Amino acid sequence: MKNSHAFNIGFWLKKTARKPDGQVPIYARIRFEKQRSDLSVHRTVLEDHWCHSSGKVHRGFKGAASINMYLDDIQAKLLDCHRQLMAEGAPISARAIKDRFLGNDKPVQTLKDIFDFHRKHEIPKLAKGTIKNYSGTETYLLRFVKQRYRTSDAPLSLVDYAFLIEFETYLRNCETIVKNIPLSNNGIMKHMERFKKMVTLAHKFGCISRNPFTLYKMKFESYDSDFLEEEEIQRLRNLVLKNSSLDMVRDIFIFSCYTGLSYIEVKLLKTGDIVKGLDGDQWINVRRKKTNTPVKVPLLYDAKCILEKYEYFPDYKKDGSLLPVFSNQKVNKYLKEVVKRAKINKKVTFHVARHTFATTITLMNDVPIETVSKLLGHTKLSTTQKYARVVEKKISKDMSKLKEALKGPKDGGQTLESESAVATNHKRKGHLRVVK
């Protein structure tokens, strides 16, 4: 069937592949600019039932209508592949049209493909701690595919809304990678969030026509992370630690409590990051590792004392680092022991220091939340609100100020009795009064 001077599609029988029962495979032939490429359509027919002139099955035979309709669909899809390549300005050939039809011109076709692509092109841009999370998501996903579909991999075309719901259900009931530590709801949502990134990538490449995540809603549960109060910080500071490793971990944790820097930002802190501010005092001037957002924090007295304590630690001459910082795993391990010795009954990780800075050090000392947001390097105020909770003590402190402000004047002011008399007078004169 001729469609243009350069491009046409026809169907023919591959007689050399005739089957024992006489059935002959039907092939599509794509012709473009004197080039051609053949494509099996996965249908067979007896040669006597085939019309060579029309390239279809004779209408009088059983099943002819179904096969002919199927061939029309194949032809329409091949024409659409040609149209897509033209619209994209891509090089067009008979082979290119065939590859587009088969999906072979896509960089990814299966779940493993998309993770491999992400590993090659996106993983190098991520932090080490984030990389292992994607590995966990891939492990759970492939386990699910193996259990649900009895295969080690699956085509991306299989991923629809039902697939997402079934995968979420699997995560809620499966055996976890780390035994005896179940996946929390938010942990499950983080896996779905990472999978969403993979599916969105596949959608951008045109490997799937619709992104099923447009219909899927993630439901994170809000939670309050622990933070230390002033008395607990003092308890940590006053703790006598003969073990040098525990002592160093305690110090860098307190340093973070008074600066709001994350673990990696403390670890990477160099001499050049301490600058002189507009007020003439020392400030920390860094960029957040996570978002590359610039952060400027005043170097408070307590934090400065810790820097002075480690002024001559061995690594200083090596790379300019200001503090001795172990690996994240080791820091949290030692920190757990330090907190236990200080008899602080809270689940404390290094990240708690950042919450402590936001809540106890700044907010409780009347630093506006907008300023706290800048000090933490947040781009959204809503993110800061998760860190700087208005705790009961802060409410009590603010309400005390309000009570003072609302107290009646001691001299010459209108008393409650006089206010009552005025109200009675108004009532007698027919004035309206507010009834609660």
Instruction: Find, among 108, 270, 125, 127, the residue nearest to 201 by Cα.
Output: 108
Q: Is residue 431 part of a domain?
A: no
Taking all residues of the chain, what is their mean pLDDT, rounded to a whole number? 86
My answer on whether 210 and 240 are in the same domain is no
My answer on whether 280 and 133 are in the same domain is no
pLDDT (tens digit, 9 = 90+) per residue, 83-106? 988 887 878 899 989 988 887 777
pLDDT at 435: 42
Q: Is residue 429 part of a domain?
A: no
Domain with residue 246: its CATH number is 1.10.443.10
Query: Where is average pLDDT lowest: 78-92, 106-120, 376-390?
Result: 376-390
Per mean pLDDT, which of 80-89, 127-136, 186-195, 264-273 is the most reliable?
Answer: 186-195
Confidence of residue 430 (pLDDT cuts 50, 70, 90): very low
3-state secondary structure of 10: strand
Residue 26 β-bridge partners: 13
Buried/exposed code over 360-369 (b: 16+ C-beta within 10 A; e: otherwise): bbbbbeeeeb
Q: What is the mean pLDDT of residues 286-290?
A: 85
Query: Where is average pLDDT lowest: 297-301, 320-324, 351-355, 380-384?
Result: 380-384
Query: Where is average pLDDT lowest: 25-34, 256-265, 353-362, 421-430?
Result: 421-430
Confidence of residue 148 (pLDDT cuts 50, 70, 90): very high
Domain with residue 153: its CATH number is 1.10.150
DSSP state of 272: G
pLDDT at 409: 61
Per mean pLDDT, which of 196-210, 286-300, 328-342, 370-384 is the most reliable?
Answer: 328-342
My answer on whether 253 and 386 are in the same domain is yes
Q: Tell me how many domains the chain contains.
A: 3
pLDDT at 433: 44
The C-alpha atoms of residue 11 and residue 30 are separated, in whole angstroms, by: 9
pTM over 0.75: no
What residue numbers bound the domain in which 92 lies?
7-102
